[in-house]
Amino acid sequence: MALAETTARPDFAVAEVSRFDASGQPLHVWAHPEGRLWTAAFGEADRREGLSLRSVLGALDAPWHDLPEGMPGPWFGAAAFDGRAWEGFSPLRFTLPALLLWSDGARHFAAAFGDGAHRRLEETRRKLEGAILSSGPDITPARRLRYPAERERWNALVSRALTAIAAGTLEKVVVARAVDVEAGGRIDPAAVLARLERRHPACRAFLVRGERGATFVGATPEILCRIDGDLVRTEALAGSADPASGVALLSSRKDLREHRWVVDHLVGALSGIARSLQRQPEPGLRNLVNVVHLHTPISARLAPGRGVADVAASLHPTPAVLGVPSAAARRFLVEHEGLDRGLYTGLVGWVGPRSSELAVALRCALIRGNRARLFVGAGIVEGSSAEREWLETELKARALLDALGAEP
């Protein structure tokens, strides 16, 4: 049953293992229960950092012919929304783990990279003998913190956006706010992640561990790109409603207009780097546990010489997290939003020589000690109201509030 270890490169070794334990302190976790994929990356054998998606990602997908088929990565990382990172995180960092564990649901694998890879792999196999896949520790109950005038600040922000839209400066801008939670003891990011995986199996659950005790976790419904060879898949996910009202999105002029901007951006960006492109002519519905979105899948065949770096740099950020026109929306956020987004609405995922998967970091929280900060946003267009958009952000916050054991 075991795979033969790869010896073509002295800095890489892989083997199938009977089972493994999810405990420990991974630097990155990536899970897609519906897609039967779970990964955990430990330590660093190598690192790539910078400010340019094109330059950093372009250095990661060079041919590495002896990696086993189906292995995610081996590079895992994240990028901040606007090049500014929180304390303890890098604006753009992808790491080659010293140890990578992954599972396809039926089989479990371990791979080691860097100096001493074969020795480390054997030590890991001995350590994992008889271990079982952990379901995660218990959640420490938490409470949501309320602040004076937070609703008034939101109303003022939306009002400024609508004024700019009426003046013709903007057509759309995505504004965000934070929701803070406090627990009686340390919040365990692994426990939060385990809950997100169980409750949102259609989403990509992720964990990015920073320095000095900071951890970023989430379960995002939005993939920026999935690349397999020259085939790239992306999706427009814009326009939101509660599950009871989801079908009304298909006839909502406001939501359809907001959705169309995202579709047009993705199609236009891919057209410059692809030799063929396909898209669903009309949006459908993406039904999640707490919310329903308008959804349009798009696929393309990349032109020769194009790869994940070109795709990510062309697509990110989309109007689903920024606005239209993008330059004006960015100026508006800098001047008025007043929120340190960090990795929120940035990118998170993995990159490899044959396949890559990058997601937009949504439905997420920054955890430090006994505090967690959740991030939620809404797209403001003509016809938006502060009340409706507030309720939309409350809807989006439920996934993380539930995972943290806090009231809605």
Catalytic-labelled residue, pool 172, 235, 337, 389: 172
Cα–Cα distance, 377 to 98 (Å, whole number):
36
- Residue 38 CB burial class (10 angstroms; 0-12, 13-18, ≥19): buried
- State yes or no: is 335 an active-site residue: no
Cα–Cα distance, 112 to 274 (Å, whole number):
35
Judge contact between 249 and 294, C-beta under 8 A: yes
Q: Which two tokens stand for residue 75?
A: 């590079």
Catalytic-labelled residue, pool 171, 197, 222, 357: 222
Closest CA to 28 of 222, 208, 160, 168: 208
Cα–Cα distance, 366 to 215 (Å, whole number):
6
Judge contact between 90 and 49, C-beta under 8 A: yes
**In DSSP terms, which residues pair with 214 in a beta bridge?**
368
**In DSSP terms, which residues pair with 79 in a beta bridge?**
92, 347
- State yes or no: is 222 an active-site residue: yes
Rg (CA), the chain: 21
The C-alpha angle with vertex 221 and arms to 58 and 102, in degrees rounded to 5, equals: 60
Q: Which two tokens stand for residue 271?
A: 């057209």
Which residues are catalytic, by number? 172, 222
